[in-house]
DNA sequence: TTGAAAGCGCTAACAT
DNA sequence: ATGTTAGCGCTTTCAA
């Protein structure tokens, strides 16, 4: 391993000068610069980050703690985080923690052990682990108490889904809520229901507790059996939407003629399926990007305009909703 | 920040004893153990990993370099890597490097800078960056020259796809190859073609250069126009398979009655779509897990039975292929 | 503009 | 079974 000392000797300068050069911090003369640059290349020197971090108590590393990386929403979020931070010279440590709090604590510990710049997570741990001192930004599932957060406008999204579906002529609507751990899903569910209350359209509430296909399949069949007249389904996520499509078509019904479906998220695959899923778009990528930006700004003590960032949502028309009347 | 020194003082022992205790390396008496344990809890001490890594020149960190985390195959692989390593007390650093070699080099540098235990990647960099000294295991896209690798039996998979499709009565088969950068996809494409050559079934080759929906859509329409009699499509991936389903159904054809489709990968969503995609299963999770295990074994100088691990594939019957004749 | 020196928090050889 | 000591590779005052 080549060290700063060897570079210094070879270049005929002191360690400090080399240090100033590589961390671009302090004066270093033109001549020295050139010599150092040359020998760094020659010796293929790369500074040891552990040593640097030990000394400076900083580390350009941020943790990304996700409930389930195999849920298509989160890889896109991860991509947003990674691409922003990579650009700034930071790295991301990935933790797939499910709902396991012990695991979460392990990861948080490691992050403080390494002087990480911060953590991006879907779960606010500040009450559970108040001793952990680490800049934190919550993404997606942001409650009212969280200081830093990035989330999309779930109230607006839930309302919009209901509104659009009514405009498309839904008369017997099933509103489906997702797993209860996710506050964002509950918020939009409530917003949909609230909107429906202001109309004279008939609706029924249903609950899903899983992202697993077999589970959703069972739930979907229950819904379809219990609510025979259903002509519209508001799904809590695109995954659910796609599974509902499957069950509806399997029963020989037509989409959107017999039953229309609206999803939520606009994951990549939604455009691929048939019929392509009409859905409320929220940008997981942007969410990750904004969260990463916040961490970056905190770490560099920059002025932060907004600690809680609400992202817009919009409707994406595809093939699972009937045409809306103009108005 | 609480240090080992403070713990030592508070517990009335020396730094070394505390060090021995926390790294479970060397003797420490029963009494001392108890005192140390107590004060660690009391002071909420967590050892500084930068300092440890600086001293030991080791770091329980492994890099995971992926071409595109938003492609559903890779999150599952990442999950396999993460869950195995997390269990062993290692962490994973995620890099989404696309096909960008400069970015790849940056990540590799950081990994050596931090004394990482190794790197799991889809791209063998040993020829491009021969100076980088880092245990490496290649996943998925494993060439003949790579030392450590985990991959599935693409030849068998390609052959199996073709065989099954013929058994299901395919008479006019379109074999589609995926993006050329992926050696695995090319291998199974070739295997499919080779098998088809041994039959007297008519087939045509097609090429896809993208995982993007609009692109595949264009390619699919070209295929469907150029090869009017097509009754079977062998897709290079499930993503492609799902997109093909979309285009076929959009043309008012029936699946599998008019045209049958077989995918490759068995990504999560394939069971959700309608009709559910029949496909060749390969386990991205297992692939990640085995790769992580290899890195772990290398890092701990354990005996390694097989440096190149070939994973089995199997056919998953769902709804996009016609029933095969018994035989 | 540069160098000397101290020290970050930890481990490990050695001595006791 | 435990303590002393040196030092990992870097940064950062401080003095020159």
Q: In CATH, what class is B154-282?
A: alpha beta
Q: In the sheet that B172-177 helps form, which strands lie side by side, from edge to edge? A: B202-207, B172-177, B232-234, B260-265, B279-281, B314-316
Q: Cβ A75–B79 below 8 Å, yes or no?
A: no
pLDDT in the model for residue A181: 80
Boundaries of CATH 3.40.50.2300 in chain A? Answer: 61-152+285-311, 154-282
pLDDT of residue B285: 98
- Work out the average pLDDT over B68-72: 94
What is the tens place of the pLDDT at every residue in B207-262? 999 999 999 999 999 999 999 999 999 999 999 999 999 999 999 999 999 999 99
Global pTM reads 0.95
Q: Average of pLDDT values for A53-79?
A: 96
| DSSP-assigned states of every residue in B189-246 | HHHHHHHHHTS--EEEEEE---S-HHHHHHHHHHHHHH-TT--EEE-SSHHHHHHHHH
Burial of B183 (0-12, 13-18, 19+ CB in 10 A): middle
Q: Does A273 touch chain B (CB under 8 A)?
A: yes
For tokens 């989409």, what's the residue? A255
Neighbours of A71 (CB within 10 A): 17
- CB of residue B245 closer than 7 A to nucleic acid strand D? no
Q: Name the closest residue on chain A to residue B109, using Cα atoms.
A: A46
Q: In CATH, what number does A61-152+285-311 get? A: 3.40.50.2300
Q: Has residue B324 got a pLDDT over 80?
A: no
Q: Which residues of A touch B109 (CB under 8 A)?
A: 46
Closest CA to A318 of A238, A206, A230: A238
pLDDT tens across A242-294, in order? 999 999 999 999 999 999 999 999 999 999 999 999 999 999 999 999 999 99
User: For residue A143, what pLDDT is reported?
Assistant: 93
Please report which confidence band the pLDDT of residue B1 belongs to, taking 50, 70 and 90 as the band edges.
confident
pLDDT for B325:
63
The predicted structure's pLDDT at residue A326:
56
Give the minimum alpha-carbon distance from A167 to chain B in angstroms, rounded to a whole number. Answer: 25
Which residues in A lie closer than 8 A to residue B92 (C-beta atoms)?
A: 93-94
| pLDDT of res. A204 | 97
CB of B259 less than 8 A from some CB of A: no
Is the shortest CB-to-strand distance from B56 to strand C under 7 Å? yes
Q: Say if the Cβ atoms of B69 and A83 lie within 8 Å.
A: no
Confidence of residue A323 (pLDDT cuts 50, 70, 90): confident
> What does the alpha-carbon distance between residue B282 and residue A110 come to, in Å, rounded to a whole number?
33
Q: Quick one: pLDDT at residue A325? A: 63
pLDDT of residue B326: 57
Tokens of A181: 């751990």
Residue intervals of chain B classified under CATH 1.10.260.40 are 4-47
**Can you tell me which residue has its alpha carbon closest to the C1' of nucleotide D7?**
B55
Which CATH number applies to A4-47? 1.10.260.40
Both ends of chain A: CA-CA distance in Å? Answer: 71
pLDDT at B101: 92
In this complex, the answer to whether residue B35 has its CB under 7 A from any atom of chain D, a nucleic strand, is no
* Chain A touched by B218 (CB under 8 Å): no
- The whole-number pLDDT of residue B39 equals 95
For residue B237, give the nearest of B132, B152, B110 by alpha carbon. Answer: B152
CB of A25 within 7 Å of some strand C atom: no
Q: How far apart are the first and last CA of chain B?
A: 71
> Is the predicted pLDDT of residue B327 greater than 70, yes or no?
no
**D3: residue with closest CA to C1':** B14
Place of tokens 């039953």: A259
The span from the CA of B77 to the CA of B284, in Å, is 5
What phi, psi does A277 have (nearest 5°)? -80, 120
Q: Is A83 on the interface with B (CB under 8 A)?
A: yes
By DSSP bridging, strand A260-265 and strand B136-139 are: unpaired
Please give the Cα distance from A125 to B247 (Å, whole number).
Answer: 46
Cα B18 off chain centre by: 40
Instruction: Name the residue among A50, A94, A268 with its Cβ closest to that of B70.
Output: A268
pLDDT for A26 equals: 85
Q: What is the mean pLDDT of chain A?
A: 95
| pLDDT value of residue A76 | 98
Separation of A5 CA and C1 C1' (Å): 19
Per-residue pLDDT at B25: 86
Q: Residues B254-274, buried b or exposed e (16+ Cβ, 10 A)?
A: ebbeebbbbbbbbbbbbbbbb
């Amino acid at each position: 391993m080549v060290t700063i000392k060897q570079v210094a000797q070879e270049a005929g300068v002191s360690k400090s000068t080399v240090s100033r050069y590589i961390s671009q911090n302090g004066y270093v003369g033109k001549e020295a610069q050139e010599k150092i640059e040359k020998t760094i290349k020659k010796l293929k020197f790369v500074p040891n980050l552990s040593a640097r971090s030990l000394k400076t108590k900083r580390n350009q590393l941020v943790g990304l703690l996700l409930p389930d990386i195999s849920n298509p929403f989160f890889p896109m979020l991860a991509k947003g985080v990674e691409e922003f931070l990579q650009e700034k010279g930071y790295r991301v440590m990935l933790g797939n923690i499910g709902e396991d709090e012990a695991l979460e604590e392990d990861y948080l510990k490691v992050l403080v052990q390494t002087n990480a710049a911060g953590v991006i997570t879907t779960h606010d741990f500040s009450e559970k682990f108040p001793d952990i001192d680490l800049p934190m930004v919550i993404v997606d599932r942001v409650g009212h108490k969280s200081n830093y957060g990035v989330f999309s406008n779930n109230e607006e999204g839930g309302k919009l889904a209901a509104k659009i579906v009514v405009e498309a002529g839904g008369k017997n609507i099933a509103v489906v809520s997702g797993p209860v751990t996710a506050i964002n899903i509950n918020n939009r569910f409530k917003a949909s229901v609230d909107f429906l209350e202001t109309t004279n359209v008939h609706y029924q509430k249903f609950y899903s507790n899983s992202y697993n296909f077999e589970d959703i399949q069972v739930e979907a069949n229950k819904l379809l059996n219990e609510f025979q007249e259903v002509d519209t389904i508001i799904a809590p996520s695109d995954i659910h939407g796609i599974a509902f499509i499957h069950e509806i078509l399997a029963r020989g019904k037509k989409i959107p003629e017999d039953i229309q479906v609206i999803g939520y998220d606009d994951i990549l695959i939604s455009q691929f399926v048939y019929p392509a899923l009409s859905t409320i778009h929220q940008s997981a990528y942007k969410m990750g990007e904004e969260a990463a930006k916040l961490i970056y700004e905190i770490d560099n003590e920059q002025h932060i305009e907004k600690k809680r960032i609400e992202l817009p949502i919009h409707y994406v028309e595809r093939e699972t909703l009937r045409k809306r009347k103009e108005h």
